[in-house]
Amino acid sequence: MKKILIYIIPLALVAMVAIKLVSNKKTAQERVYVYDKTQSVPVFAVKVSEGELGNERSFSGVIEPIRESKISAEVQGKVIRVAVEVGQRVGANQLLVQQDVALLQLQLKSAEVQKGGLEADLKRYRILVENEAIQGVQLEKTELALAALEVQIATLKEQIDKSSIRAPFSGIVTAKLTEMGDFAAPGKPLIQVTELSQIKLTIQVPENDLDYFQSGSSQAVKIASLSGEFPAKVTLVGSRGSIGNSFPVELTFENTADLSVKAGMFGEVSIKAEANSKGMILPASALVGSELNPQVYVIQDGKAKLQTVEIAQRVGDQLILKSGVKSGDVVITGGLVNVFEGANVEPNFSSER
C-alpha cells in the first residue's frame, strides 16, 4: 500500500498543477483584448472647404530688462549697512552696501606711519651717501622698502574704497540678498539692480516671417494688462534657429515714466501680411507625420485613406493646402491614434471649425 501511495501522490500533484495552469491560461486569454479591425473607429472630422485666412500674424514673448546685474562683494568683510530696499530706485554710483573697514583703516594708518619713518631715513641716507659716510646699498634698500610700502598703501586704499559697494548703473533694486551682520565674501551676490527705463521683448519668429522683422525696423508692442501700444525697434535677429525652425527676435522700447511695464509681463506683436492667403483650409491637427512629408487621412466610403498633400502655408493652427484634397472631402482631424490605412471609421463633425 505504501509503495502505491509513493506513486499516486506525485501523480496527483502533477495533475493538479496541470489543471491549474490550463485554467490560468484560459482566464488570461479571456482577459486579453483582441482588436477587431472590422470595428469602426470613432474619429473627429471636418469637410474641406476653399477659403482664405486672415492676414494678421501674432507673436508673443516675455518682457525682459535691458540690463540686470547681481552686484557682488569684491573684498571680504562684515556687512555693517544695507542702504537700499527692494523696489527702491537708485542712481549710478549710489551706495548699496557698506562693509566694515575698521581693520583696513588701522592697517592703512600703520603703513602711513612706516612710510613717514622710511622717508625720514631716506633723507638722512642720501646726505650720508653724498659724504661717503655709508655705502650706497643701504640707500637703495630703503628706496625699495619705501616703494613696496607705497604699493601696500595703495592696495589698502583700494580695498577700503571697494568695501563701499555701489550701483554700476541706475535702476530699481529687485532683490536684496544680504542683511546687516552678514559676512560678504568675494563673488557673493548682495543686491540685484534692474534697469527698466528701457526694456525688450523677445519673440520666436518662424523662418517664413523673418522678412517682417528686419534689423532696425519698427513694430508696435501690445501688453495685455496695459492700454495702448509701445513703439519698438528690432535690435536683434537671431542667427541660429531652434529645433522648431524659429528664430529669436528682440524688440527694444522705452518704458513709461512711472515704469508701468514690468519685467516678466507678456507682450505681443501683430503684423499684417501684404495679401490674404487662399486655398483649401484644414486644421493643423489633421496633419500626419511632419511638414516635410505631409499626409492626411481622407474618409472614402467609410474607410480611412492616407493622402499626400502639399502645404502652401501654415498660419497658426490652420493649414492652407495647394493640392491633395478638394473641396467637400472629409478629413480626419482627431482620434488618429487607432486609425490606419483602410480602417473603418465613424466621423463626428462636432469639432468642426
Note the pLDDT of residue 123.
86
Please answer whether residues 286 and 309 qualify as being in contact, where contact means their C-beta atoms are separated by less than 8 angstroms: no
Residue with cell 498543477: 17
Distance, in Å, from the CA atom of 206 to the CA atom of 203, rounded to the nearest integer, reads 10
Please answer whether residues 283 and 53 qualify as being in contact, where contact means their C-beta atoms are separated by less than 8 angstroms: no
For residue 110, give the amino acid letter: S
Q: What is the pLDDT along the chain (353 residues), one digit of tens a residue?
A: 555 656 666 666 767 777 777 777 666 666 654 555 667 888 888 888 887 766 677 888 999 998 999 999 999 999 999 999 999 999 999 999 999 999 999 999 999 999 888 888 888 888 887 777 677 778 788 889 889 999 999 999 999 999 999 999 999 999 999 999 999 999 889 999 999 999 999 999 888 788 888 888 999 999 988 888 899 999 999 888 777 778 999 999 999 888 889 988 999 998 876 555 677 888 888 888 777 788 889 988 888 899 888 887 777 677 888 888 888 888 888 888 888 888 888 888 754 44
Residue with cell 473607429: 41
Largest CA distance in the chain: 138
The continuous run of DSSP H or E covering 117 comes out as helix 102-130
Note the pLDDT of residue 163.
93
Please answer whether residues 271 and 55 qualify as being in contact, where contact means their C-beta atoms are separated by less than 8 angstroms: no
Cross-strand bridge partners of residue 254: 198
C-alpha separations of 141 from 44, 137, 147, 189 in Å: 95, 6, 10, 43
What are phi and psi for residue 227, nearest 5 degrees?
Answer: -90, 155
Q: Within a 10 A sphere around the Cβ of 348, how many other Cβ atoms?
A: 14
Residue 273: name the closest of 44, 35, 55, 12 by CA: 55
Which residue segments constitute the domains of the chain, with CATH numbers given?
41-53+277-348 (2.40.420.20), 58-66+194-272 (2.40.30.170), 68-189 (2.40.50.100)
Q: Identify the DSSP state of 73.
A: B
Distance, in Å, from the CA atom of 270 to the CA atom of 97, rounded to the nearest integer, reads 44
Please answer whether residues 265 and 295 qualify as being in contact, where contact means their C-beta atoms are separated by less than 8 angstroms: no
pTM of the shown model: 0.57
Note the pLDDT of residue 107.
92
Please answer whether residues 230 and 223 qualify as being in contact, where contact means their C-beta atoms are separated by less than 8 angstroms: yes
Residue 45: name the closest of 308, 298, 337 by CA: 298
Residue with cell 637703495: 140
Q: Within a 10 A sphere around the Cβ of 255, how many other Cβ atoms?
A: 18
